[in-house]
Structure 1
Amino acid sequence: MKTAFITGATSGIGHAMALELARAGYKVYAVGRSATALEALKAEGLDIAPIALDITDREALEDVVSGLEIDVLINNAGIMPPLGNFADTAISDIDAALEVNLSAAILLTRMVVPHMRERRAGHVLFTGSSAAHATYPNIAVYTATKAAIAGFAGALRADLAPFGVRVTEIVPGRVETQLYKDVLDEKTRAAMYAGQIAVQPEDVARMVVAVLALPQWADVTRFDIMPTNPTTPTGKK
């Protein structure tokens, strides 16, 4: 049985991927900070092993990873710093975004890929963002972290392709998740997702399963998944 290790699995895209991959026959290691949410995920009755930890805790992460054989690594965990002009951004918010969105993903990948290279098989996926490939106001730090992930994924692919290890960058547009929960008020979030025009986490999860099902000689290096009829952050066309 193949295994998948997913960070940020307690909600949104990560939660949906954990369920979809388990239904597809993977043993899923679901990683997140909320033990309660992870137990609820396990209660679905699928082959999901909950792992409650903070991915910025390097020692704890290495202790967990060192005992596992991971076929699919999905670096999905991420945070959105408070929205606003970069000149007003708190240094602590910059540090947190860089640590969670970028450093933790790179370090976790470093823990896992030597074994994939040795086995000459494996797949590493990164949940990026359309913000990495287009510019928007008030999210400069978030954009920087996702653009760095895009660059890292491309360079990692070049390093690992000769060893049969595949790398995919997931590029979602507006997905109805909890990403903006702490940075936008309820009214603004409702406007963003009004009319059922946002991509759903399950849509992304189904695409991931399809990508993983491709034969070894085919690698989807990046896939963009956007709302068919996008709107502005206020819900206007």
Structure 2
Amino acid sequence: MPDSVSVPEIYCWALVTGATSGIGKAVVLALRDAGLQVIAVGRSPEALAELRFEPGVTVVEADVRQVDAFTEILARYPVDVLVNNAGVLSTRSPFQEMAPAEIDNMFDINLKAPLHLARKVLPGMIERGRGHLFFIGSSAGRSPHPGAAVYGASKAGISLFCDALRCDLLGSGVRVTEIAPGRVQTQLYKTTMGMQAAGAELYEGYESIMPEDIATLLLAALSLPQQVDVSRLEVFPTAQAVGGARMVKTKG
């Protein structure tokens, strides 16, 4: 991290979901290096083991869909910074071919869980008069992408929620930031494509955004003076743009 990035001393504890790889893991280490005590939440005990012995990091094995599991954690640790990062793209199928269970799965993890967790941490933040909520959105929540109708809808929900939540929190001292990246080199596509196929199709041939880049942006927003709230950060690889159209001709 650049030496110029300095997180305000009023922030002591951070909680990061989806912390075992990709953006989540990069954010955990960046916040820890910036001087915060970080609670790293994930579902994989094997992946959490890699963070268990990191100084300044407390690991918690939990499923973000089981929001009641966080009651004890939040009673013990006064979370000042919440990073809702956990997300899933469990299928890239056209909507009409998608299993109903996958619709529920993506909305449960990508939209419902972040809202429920934010609801749990907000009373403490408001009582202390400080806090920063981060939501990792997606360019798919800002523009349409084929095969991502449900994923995009869940991320669009996050985006509008952040705008509305900011209205509700005016005067509370709590800030809200959505980070909506384009293609980041993570394991998001592992379930739908496999890592080798994802690498060949999605990442080869140009330089991607790396998880550490998103962590740098998050720290930059967190480090700004308390009266400054970066409401949304949209970031893309230099080689990626959203837009364009393809016409499909009818046969016969």
TM-score surpassing 0.5?
Answer: yes
| Counterpart selection for 2:68 from 40, 59, 67 | 59
Secondary structure of the residue aligned to 2:40 is strand
Partner of 1:102: 111
| Counterpart selection for 1:184 from 187, 193, 199 | 193
Matching residue's letter, 2:182 = G
Over 3 Å counting, the alpha-carbon distance change for 1:62 and 1:206 in structure 2 is same
Matched-pair contact (CA < 8 Å) for 2:87–2:109: yes
- Return the offset for 1:215: 0.6
Matched-pair contact (CA < 8 Å) for 2:13–2:77: no
| Counterpart selection for 2:238 from 225, 228, 232 | 228
- Return the offset for 1:220: 0.4
Please provide the CA RMSD for this pair.
1.4
2:207 corresponds to 1:197: yes
Unaligned runs of 5+ in 2: 1-10, 243-252
| Counterpart selection for 1:34 from 35, 40, 44 | 44
Structure 1 residues 55-64 or 193-202, which shifts more? 55-64
Alignment coverage as a number of residue pairs: 231
> 1 CA distance for matches of 2:67 and 2:223?
31
> 1 CA distance for matches of 2:69 and 2:126?
23
2:200 corresponds to 1:164: no
2:184 corresponds to 1:175: yes
| Identity value in percent | 43
| Counterpart selection for 1:91 from 100, 103, 113 | 100
Matched-pair contact (CA < 8 Å) for 2:179–2:234: yes
Matched-pair contact (CA < 8 Å) for 2:189–2:198: no
Secondary structure of the residue aligned to 1:87 is helix
Unaligned runs of 5+ in 1: 233-237
2:143 corresponds to 1:146: no
- Return the offset for 1:83: 0.7
- Return the offset for 1:231: 7.5
After superposition, give the CA deviation of every residue in 1:119-152 in whole Å (9 maximum; x if it has no partner).
Answer: 1110000000001110111111100100000011
> 2 CA distance for matches of 1:10 and 1:188?
19
Partner of 1:206: 216
> 2 CA distance for matches of 1:170 and 1:213?
15
Over 3 Å counting, the alpha-carbon distance change for 1:161 and 1:91 in structure 2 is same
